[in-house]
Structure 1
Amino acid sequence: MITVELIQGSPEWHAHRAQHLNASDAPAMLGVSTNFSRADLMRELAAGVPREFSDFVQERVIDPGHEFEALARGIAEGYVGEDLYPVTGAKGKYSASYDGLTLLEDTAWEHKRLNQALRDAMFDGCTGTDLPLMYQVQMEHQAMVSECERVFFMASEWKRVGNDWQLVEERHCWYTPNPELRARVLTGWAQFEADVSAYEPAPAAAPLPTGRAPETLPALSIQVTGMVTNSNLAEFKDNAMAVLGSINRELETDEDFANAEKTVVWCKGVEERLEATKQQVLGQTADIDAVFRTMDDVSAETRKIRLELDKLVTKRKEERRTEIGNNARRAVQDHIRAINDTLGEHGLPMPATLISELQAAIKGKRSFSSMQDAVDTVANNAKISASQTADRVRANVAILAEHPEHSSLFADRVSLCANKAPEDLRNLVKARISEHDRAEQERLDKQREQMRVEEAEKARKALEEQQAAAAAAAAPAVAPIASTVETPPAAVAEPVAEAVVQRGPVGVVTQAAPVATAPTAPRPVVKIKLGDINAIIAPLTISADGLAKLGFDPLPEKGAAKLYDQARVIDICNALSAAILRAANAWVQRAA
């Protein structure tokens, strides 16, 4: 807020107000002020004519109000706990004059003269939301300009005792800024500026119509002495018919209706006077046919017009009430249609309560001008509400537009944009997208798990096929291995050459084809150390305990060295291969 160094009420202060949208005018702008109408404010701002007050209002209302404010300042400072400085501030095109503002501008003070409406609203424990709306609107505008956190509202009444003032009654409460009301104030000012720009001054208001009857008919003069000796019947009839024919039957304004009602009364009087004259003539003569026919003609025409006007007044009053209401309704409809042209599928519905609100505004109004002001206020409030709703819908549409890749998640976008506050919608969008991402991640995880299981199954089947092939290839090696060849007796003492052992692919152990031998004495055992066995199966290694678990025990020899029958080396290799294949199969099954 920019502080404006001006004295409230000075010409410079009034010039500043004329260039800004002011807090004290906000209630009238929204049509909720009991002191100044929206139409009056529009005329004032559009024409630039300063507001004037009568001496009575100035001396009895405004001046005491300023005095009471100064007297109450000390009491307010005691409640607030800080000094309160009167100040005028501006923020852009908006301005506000504060009865008091703290040094940090976080608390404002607004004072009013206590009246019965405030007494009824300011009960013990009341808050700012219990105050009449006109006061809430002014304080909301003030909070918008200063960005204060709260407003201390006080109403007081004082009386003079001698030369001093004495407090009669004081009430107070705290007002906290209301974001929804602030949005309404901002939208209301925007609509008001548009209305001021399009404003066309109406003709100066005429005094309140009192009604006017037609000019008085000429006096009817008849003299009889058994016969008509002298009369102005012809002139009277021509003049009377001309006057009756000139009566206005097109009723539009308050003045038209007042004239018509006055004319109805006048016609009734003419009928009565004609009847009285007729009776007077009858008293003078018994047979004056021309006189009676003339008087009957004028009387009949007068009665006809009286009855016609009486019905027309009633009918046109109802028609004018309907016209005023319909014009206001059409103005709101045109405004909403213009908004809907920019919203596409998010178009706003017409207000469901508009008709009942217009009817309530018209009810009890005695003049058409007061009806017009009342329905204009209802229509403008409906326009403001529609503009606010449109701004909220546009904000919601923009939020959804931030996530085009997730548009399928918001099939109910029209309903969401129409009914959700932007912040609520933003939270809903985050929740739906988060839930969607979680479900999508679960789907992908299941898909990956399925693919892994399928791959594991393929690997298991391939391993089983490999194992079956290895087992088939290793089957010939199961038969006992002949490690000796029959030799002549002279060569028995010579050791038989060790069979050549070859290592093939994993799971397949091959050996030299057995040499056919003839039955001989038991072969001598060729011993092999555990280290030599590990050298054969390198890079694998195995301990004596491992060989024992596979079913291969060492030879019963003395000493620490573990010796084995060399003829069983191929059996040891086959046993190792089978153990490795079993371990592989077990791992595949666990992984699946």
Structure 2
Amino acid sequence: MKVHNVQQGTPEWHALRSSYFTASEAPAMMGASKFQTRNDLLTMKKTGIVPEVTPAQQAVFDRGHATEELARPLVEEMIGEELYPIVGTAGNLLASMDGATMLGDTLFEHKLWNQRLVAQIRAGALDPHYYWQLEQQLLVAGAERVIFACSDGTRENFVHLEYRPVPGRREQLVQGWAQFEQDLGEFAPQAATVELLGSAPDQLPALRIEVTGMVTASNLDAFKAHAMTVFGKINTELSTDQDFADAETTVKWCSDVEDKLKAAKEHALSQTESIDLLFKAIDDITAEARRKRLELEKLVKARKDTIRNDIVIDAAKALQDHIDQINGTLNSRIRMPKVMADFAGVIKGKRTISSLKEAADSELARAKIEASRIGDLIRTNLKSLNELASKHGFLFADAQELVLKVNDDLVALIKVRINEHEQQQAELARQADASQAAQQQPTKEPVQPVAEQAKPLAATPITSAAPAAQQVADDGQRIKLGEICRCLGFTLTADFLRSLGFEAVERDRSAMLYRAADFPRICSALVVHVQRIQNSQAAA
């Protein structure tokens, strides 16, 4: 960690923070902040424009700093060491610690008293909004623990917990910032989101109807012409938040027009029993208002569904593209597992286009971070397989599953498998030697090896090894040619085994099957064959 001689809250401190990814920004980067979205953080980092602190916010900050100063001695008394505020960086990450011990192994972080956080501390389970900041502080400082306290500066209202790095979170944090930095390079800030108020068409003129058995006065013709013109100009191409806000307001307006026309009709009806022309005109206007209202309602719903689907599909495609890029860095036999992402779930309840995109973008970033973490793990495990098991690849046919293990576990498993294989080979060699000795001393009792054949070589253990010429009872168990080769560590053909006197007894599709009971005899025959070649070469 590089320590910077700046005081928190000063202009120098703010200037330093602008050049780094800070611990207090980590929750927003991970999509877990209660106060800032990931896209808001991207906008701030891209533009350099930091929102102004309101007087109310500043009052909270001042109160927090004051209680922090009062709480620090309480923590010092508790741990038996002095604490010093410190600002440090490591790479492109920055962390401002409320306190650190002289050796830097213990940090102090303080939050102003609030009941929700107090409940979390007492339960020993912090929200991501808090623990991502602590993880970055520990990473930057290289410390062992953080004393995370919440208080109002008094002993009575003071709670704390000891936070230590949680396995896996540090890797997620590093991957998160790497993904954030990549997204930042491609990010185009959007216009500030404001609460949009829909606008309906201009109000229609007041409808005046007077009847005394006949229509005595009416502006119905002019009213109808104006109304139809207004209806015709209503926008039904919905693409922006403003369009949706206008459409929803216009739906309400159309409903009001219907109600007013119905009231006008009833008023006229109360003055005369039947005036066909008047009622027909009112019915036409009412029907058009209703038709337009229903059309807009359907358009709003259909367009919103389309936009939601497009956002989900685009996010899923972006995630798959990221996974495909990672697959390109792996060998052809290994592929990334499915990375779960609930894009449809995270956009539920979101009403505006901007909030839909924000939710989907945050879920996409989370899934990309997880995919990158898995990709790094696979590459690390492939390196271990190449370094430790390059000569024993046949023992790791399940590499696709193995590369998803924790690396330490995989290394241990590699060593165990290779050790077991070597022990099996040694036992087979011992059995072959015993068989050869039995052939060379026919007047003595046949050698009966006591060790069992290693179980992976056949479904039933082999308890005796006989010379190649001696038949062994068939117990019905079978062993594939490929399995024989895997156990021996080199390749044999069916023709070669036939030359040694061993015929396949069955076929399983393209696989040749041999009697499992013959495996020790096959080993013995191979030894004899090799020795015969050796003797003939020596004689020559």
Both proteins in one fold, TM over 0.5: yes
Q: Which has the higher contact order (CA 8 A, sep 6+)?
A: 2
Q: Residue 248 of structure 1: which of 218, 232, 235 is its match?
A: 235
Please tell me the residue identity of whatever aligns with 2:163: Y
Q: C-alpha deviations, 1:461-483, integer Å up to 9, x for none?
A: xxxxxxxxxxxxxxxxxxxxxxx
Counterpart in 2 of 1:73? 72
Partner of 1:2: 2
1:412 pairs, out of 394, 398, 401, with 398
1:45 counterpart letter in structure 2: K
Q: Distance in 2 between matches of 1:135 and 1:282?
A: 69
Matches of 2:163 and 2:256, distance apart in 1: 62
- Alignment partners' CA distance in 2, 1:173 and 1:266: 57
Residue in 2 that maps onto 1:155: 150
Unaligned stretches of 5+ residues in structure 1: 159-165, 459-592
1:285-335 C-alpha deviation (Å, 9 max, x unpaired): 555443332222111111111222234334444444444333333332232
Residues 408 and 261 (structure 1), Cα distance of their counterparts in 2 relative to 1, 3 Å cut: same
Secondary structure at the aligned position of 1:122 is classed as: helix
**Alignment match, 1:391:** 376
1:271-420 matches, within 5 Å, as 271-283=258-270, 288-343=275-330, 344-352=332-340, 354-355=341-342, 358-402=343-387, 403-418=389-404, 420=405
Give, in whole Å, the separation in 1 of the partners of 2:29 and 2:376.
20
Counterpart of 2:472 in structure 1 is none
SS at the partner of 1:16?
helix
Q: Larger deviation: 94-103 or 301-310?
A: 301-310
| SS of equivalent residue, structure 2 residue 82 | coil
Contact in 2 for aligned 1:2/1:90 (Cα 8 Å):
yes
Which 4+ runs in 1 deviate beyond 6 A?
455-458
Once the two structures are superposed, residues 556-580 of structure 1 have per-residue CA deviations (whole angstroms, 9 ceiling, x without a partner) of xxxxxxxxxxxxxxxxxxxxxxxxx
Unpaired runs of 5+ in structure 2? 444-540
What residue is the counterpart of 2:140 in the other structure? 145
Kept in 2, the 8 Å contact 1:68–1:113? The answer is: yes
Is the Cα contact below 8 Å between 2:339 and 2:370 reproduced in 1? Answer: no
Q: What residue number does 1:46 align with?
A: 46
Q: Give 1:8's aligned amino acid.
A: Q
Paired AA for residue 93 in structure 2: Y
Look up the match of 1:261: 248
Aligned with 1:292: secondary structure? helix
Offset at residue 283 of structure 1 (A): 4.8
Write the letter of the residue equivalent to 1:185: L
Q: 1:87 is paired with a residue of what secondary structure?
A: strand
CA drift of 1:215 comes to 0.9
Distance across 1 between alignment mates of 2:292 and 2:24 = 52
In structure 2, what residue type is equivalent to 1:187? Q
Question: Within 2, Cα distance between the matches of 1:189 and 1:116?
Answer: 31
For the Cα contact (< 8 Å) 2:17–2:94, is it kept in 1?
A: yes
Residue identity opposite 2:358 in structure 1: D
Q: Which amino acid aligns with 1:404?
A: S
Report the secondary structure of 2:230's partner residue: helix
The equivalent of 1:190 in structure 2 is 178
Q: Distance in 1 between matches of 2:166 and 2:334?
A: 27
Alpha-carbon distance in structure 1 between the residues aligned to 2:112 and 2:321: 41
| Percent of residue pairs bearing the same amino acid type | 43
Quote how far apart the aligned CAs of 1:189 are. 0.5
CA distance 1:336–1:106, shift in 2 (3 Å): same
Aligned to 2:476: none
Partner of 1:270: 257
Q: Distance in 1 between matches of 2:437 and 2:16?
A: 77
Offset at 1:112?
Answer: 1.2
Equivalenced residue count is: 442
Return the letter of the residue paired with 2:172: R
Q: Distance in 1 between matches of 2:36 and 2:360?
A: 16
Residue identity opposite 1:102 in structure 2: T
The 1:441–1:287 alpha-carbon spacing in structure 2 relative to 1, beyond 3 Å, is closer
Contact 1:333/1:350 (8 A) holds in 2: no
Query: Aligned equivalents of 1:406 and 1:20: distance in 2?
Result: 46
| 1:37-85 per-position Cα deviation (integer Å, ceiling 9, x unaligned) | 11111111111112322111111x2111111111111111111211111
Name the counterpart of 2:429: 444
8 Å contact kept, 1:340–1:347:
yes
Mapped contact 1:111–1:154 kept (Cα < 8 A): yes
**Residues 217-257 of structure 1 deviation map (CA, whole Å, 9 limit, x = unaligned):** 12334455655555443332221111112222233444333
Q: Is 1:132 the counterpart of 2:119 in the alignment?
A: no
CA distance in 2, matches of 1:179, 1:277: 73
Match of 1:238 among 225, 234, 259: 225
Q: Provide the C-alpha distance between the structure 2 equivalents of 1:408 and 1:114, rounded to a whole number of angstroms.
A: 60
Q: Which residue of 2 aligns with 1:422?
A: 407
Give the structure 2 partner of residue 569 of structure 1. none
CA RMSD of aligned residues (A): 2.5
